[in-house]
């Protein structure tokens, strides 16, 4: 009996992969008070240079960021940080309230991208750095690293099939995507067949970089038109 061949799924399809968090859409005047933790971290950054390409902090140097872009980012951070408590940091509740979303594994991973030091809150330097990476100015390598961090639920520098499955299910649920268990498993198997070169059941960062090189659209959602979003009223 002849049957039509099944379409071969592409690995980590960008439509099924978790999308990067959109930029905030309101701006307010910066607030003078910050929590001790935020002030301590931010004090490590050098003052603004006032020139394009050497903007405001070592972690943003060399990216060619316009100073007005960084100022918009700073104002945006302050507007989010003051939603729940005006303490100069963004906690997970403020993050979810700003996006008007419910708590989920998917949102936890989005927040984790911003929480660079994994202390449960986002400071201004962390916010500026990640948003800059997600902008068109961001280095490609850093976009890949951030994407990998999304999938690495255990934080052990490898991606397992279980991790991939958990986050894809959460992502599909959050975006109301209708994906059958069979389709989900096909996508996972196709991804590992291509990426897991040594066939040990895990995808390393090096293997992930090679996979993205072969399928660059995998991380298309890691580049956002941040500047125009920041200027929206």
Q: What is the dihedral of CA 87, 93, 96, 101, to 10 degrees?
A: -150
Rounded Cα gap, residues 20 and 14, in angstroms: 11
In a structure prediction context, what are the per-residue pLDDT tens digits for the chain, which is 233 residues long? 544 444 444 565 434 443 333 333 333 333 334 434 444 444 333 333 333 333 345 567 667 788 888 888 888 888 888 888 888 899 988 888 777 777 878 778 888 888 988 899 999 888 888 888 888 888 999 999 989 998 999 999 999 999 999 988 887 776 677 888 899 999 999 999 999 999 999 999 999 999 999 999 989 888 887 777 676 54
Q: At what angle do helices 105-114 and 92-99 cross, to 10 degrees?
A: 110
Q: What is the pTM of this model?
A: 0.68
Q: What residues pair up with 91 in beta bridges, in sequence order?
A: 121
Task: Please spell the DSSP secondary structure of 34-63, one letter per residue.
Answer: --HHHHHHHTTSPPP-SSTTS-SSGGGTTS
CA distances from 150 to 55, 143, 155, 180, 196 (A): 27, 11, 9, 22, 18
- Cβ atoms of residues 195 and 208 within 8 Å: yes
Q: How far apart are CA 92 and CA 109, in angstroms?
A: 11
């Amino acid at each position: 009996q002849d049957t039509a061949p099944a379409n071969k799924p592409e690995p980590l399809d960008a439509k099924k992969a978790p999308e990067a968090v959109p930029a905030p859409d309101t701006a307010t005047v910066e607030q003078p008070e910050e929590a001790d933790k935020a002030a301590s971290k931010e004090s490590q950054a050098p003052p603004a240079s006032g020139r394009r390409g050497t903007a405001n902090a070592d972690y943003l140097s060399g990216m060619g960021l316009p100073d007005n872009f960084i100022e918009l980012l700073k104002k945006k951070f302050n507007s989010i940080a003051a939603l729940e408590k005006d303490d100069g940091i963004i906690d997970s509740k403020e993050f979810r309230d700003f996006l008007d979303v419910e708590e989920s594994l998917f949102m936890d991973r989005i927040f984790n991208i911003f929480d660079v030091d994994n202390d449960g809150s986002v400071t201004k330097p962390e916010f500026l750095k990640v948003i800059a990476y997600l902008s068109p100015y961001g280095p490609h390598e850093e976009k890949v690293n951030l994407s990998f961090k999304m999938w690495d639920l255990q934080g052990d520098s490898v991606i397992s099939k279980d991790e991939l499955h958990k986050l894809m299910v959460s992502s599909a649920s959050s975006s109301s995507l209708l994906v059958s268990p069979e389709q989900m498993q096909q996508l996972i198997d196709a991804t590992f067949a291509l990426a897991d070169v040594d066939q040990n059941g895990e995808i390393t960062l090096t293997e992930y970089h090679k996979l993205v090189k072969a399928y660059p659209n995998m991380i298309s959602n890691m580049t956002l038109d941040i500047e125009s979003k920041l200027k929206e009223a």
